[in-house]
Amino acid sequence: MSSWLGTRWRTWWGWTRRVTPVPQLATSWDVDDVANTITFHLREGVKFHDGTDFNADAVKWNLEMFKNGEKKDLEDIESIDVDAADPYTIVLHMTR
């Protein structure tokens, strides 16, 4: 799962010179290799250029657009859940 993370979502986090991930739009994340999930905790107070909020619903919408697009990007994502109690947490359920 870590190679998938590193190549697709560079704006969610950056890298130090020692190749350590550092938070950007995702303030933290939890990888569960047993459950094949990645839980992202998103930065609050971020807006898109049109003034709409950057939150889990917006991330889910964008990921689903890529996942269901013609190129079938993100085929490793089985499903995407937004935590109803926290609009800044999103869980990706991976196929492998």
CATH of domain 2-94: 3.90.76.10
Range ranked top by mean pLDDT from 8-12, 13-17, 20-24, 87-91: 87-91
Q: Is the pLDDT of residue 5 over 50?
A: no
Query: In 3D, which of 1, 23, 3, 28 has the Cα closest to residue 13?
Result: 23
pLDDT in tens, 41-91: 999 998 989 999 999 998 888 888 777 777 666 677 778 887 777 899 988
Query: Average pLDDT in the 8-35 region?
Result: 72
The model carries a pTM of 0.71
